[in-house]
Chains A and B, each alone.
Chain A
């Protein structure tokens, strides 16, 4: 037996102990590190989730404010009568009433069939439009402006003037100073039915 072999034999248990503690220590380190890593991962997930929920909550509060405001606008639209079917008789009566009230000379209108306004989106509502050609004889241009203002304020439809030509009258024998020829959109909202 060589001296080295003799020496190794004498210290074999110590060497074994050393190697065992080395392996044991490494295993402990590895296991504790793995546990910590796993816990760290769980912690990060929990923090992320907390952040997500907090973000949702903050958004919910903003959302609540936004929706309340929009809902109020919606209720205003409902109150103005823009939602629902056309009420052409009401409109005609209202035009007549304005004409009488404003003492207008002549008001001729032509209301075209209702169409779906293109560009409608995923609101659950269709924006419906009826084009009206409106011809009027006026003493003053203010008559036109007041008439259109009355239309906006009193009609159960959203009115949008698309064009309006006002021409100075030169004919004799008429008190009318101006002739107006306008195109007005009468817009209402119709809730879409499913299917």
Chain B
């Protein structure tokens, strides 16, 4: 950061201070003549890259309250310029402070116009600054800085009156600044001829009474109310002030410890007496008021410095942010690589375990795939190789239920088609090779049962049917097989001779029937 140098300007001379972290060092005092200006230029040449603040404490300062229509943008700027020119013609060091809006009517803007009305007091110094290409932060007046301090004071002491007079002593004289609800309304500097304590305290008392009348006259303060006057004094001199500045019916004095306030705001070079210029200079450097008097052209180099600072700050912020983000990424990268390493090690260990597990597999004369295929094939073979026993046991049990059924023949076979024709008497059906069984989706145990019934029931179809039904029901009792009737005894076949039953010569056939038992494998 560049060094900061503060200039205190009164009617006679300019004093330069070096300011650093609350420490004030007086570096030179320059008289307002050619010698002083030259010395000042030389001084500036030594401190080219510094930031410069100018604090004016002069009598020639105008305050003009006014109301203007509520406009914004360029119109407002133009109007303010016009008004300033109207009130303070020929004073380039001017500004306007917004005091809020009226509560009635058009709700116009209340504005306080200020100007340092004697430009020739400033021009030589400003010219020197221009010539030196100095980075001028701004031109401030003491009332502006005092107002900032007063605002902070009221903010800290909530029960303090909002309208009060701040009295301070500087090298230029006695400064009275009137604050109304946190806003600067008026300020006046009374030069003191000698500067003795007695003169100061007397002036404080007298001028406070005078300004009370002034404020009443301009309706800035309510008649009859007591004006609180806050006097900044060195504690060693407070008693003297108290003795001279006694409360009247109109004015009430309060004394503020200058040393305590200096300490509160971080001024390390404490004043030796009640003179406040170093205190206000410090307040200005510490937190410069937003408003200042210098024209934009005077501050161009300061703006450039601000731009450079912004660019440099942005560069640093970008670089640091990227560095931090990259560092975070690199930490993540490191953690990820660690994790990856662990995962790889685990994979390697698991791979070794897998190799060991593979070695532990039984040593076989052929591959594991062949073993699987062999056993699967064998299992299919076994699954498709039923025995006769279950069907025989089922038929035997059914015969127990239907005792009048007499068995003639059982044709048992494996087949994929449950409806294939019954076997001829020449022999059994051709065997289905085991391999073919696999190719069929379904395989059945097919058992054709041929049986006969007592001849005496030949003409009793109903009984025959009931016996056959009972036999069938016994066969399918557990629901694991299906039974289909192939032939019933009372079917009339056209290929055979049929004679009446009372004919002795007739050929009478024993009632026969056949059923097919199907069991799905």
Contacts and interface: CB of A to CB of B under 8 A. Distances in A.
B216 interface: no
Interface stretch (A54-62, A88-96, A97-105): A54-62
A71 interface: yes
Counting chain A residues whose Cβ lies within 8 A of the other chain, the interface size class is: 35 or more
Contacts of B206: none
A107 interface: no
B435 A118 contact: yes
A18 B329 CA distance: 23
Interface in B422-458: 423, 427-439
Contacts of A68: 362
Interface in A39-74: 39-40, 42-43, 46-47, 49-50, 53-54, 56-57, 60-61, 63-64, 66-68, 70-71, 73-74
B371 A70 contact: yes
Interface string B383-396: 01101110010000
B397 interface: no
Nearest to B382: A158
Contact of A121 (B337, B377, B385, B433): B377
A24 B322 contact: yes
A123 B370 contact: yes
B354 A60 contact: yes
A35 to B, nearest CB: 6
A144 interface: yes
Contacts of A22: 315, 318
B434 A127 contact: yes
B381 A123 contact: no
Interface majority SS (helix, strand, loop, mixed), chain B: helix
A141 interface: yes
A152 B325 CA distance: 80
B368 interface: yes
Interface stretch (B91-99, B247-255, B339-347): B339-347
B354 A165 contact: no
In this complex, which of A122, A164, A189 has the most chain B Cβ atoms within 10 angstroms of its Cβ?
Answer: A164
A66 B340 CA distance: 34
A185 B336 contact: no
Contacts of A123: 370-371, 373-374, 376-377
Given A53-B354, A70-B372, A144-B388, A11 B377 contact: no
B424 to A, nearest CB: 10
Given A46-B344, A160-B385, A183-B428, A124 B370 contact: yes
Interface string B333-360: 1001101100110110011011001101
B213 interface: no
A152 B214 CA distance: 137
A165 B411 CA distance: 4
Contacts of B316: 21
B304 A11 contact: yes
Nearest to A66: B372
A158 B343 CA distance: 52
Interface stretch (B74-82, B111-119, B220-228, B306-314): B306-314
A119 B372 contact: no
Contact of A163 (B336, B346, B381, B414): B414
A28 B322 contact: yes
B260 interface: no
B378 interface: yes
Nearest to B393: A145
A74 B375 contact: yes
Contacts of A189: 374
A80 to B, nearest CB: 11
6 contacts: A22-B315, A35-B329, A50-B346, A53-B350, A149-B387, A183-B431
Interface of B: 304, 307-308, 311-312, 314-316, 318-319, 321-323, 325-326, 329-330, 332-333, 336-337, 339-340, 343-344, 346-347, 350-351, 353-354, 357-358, 360-362, 364, 366-378, 381, 384-385, 387-389, 392, 407-414, 423, 427-439
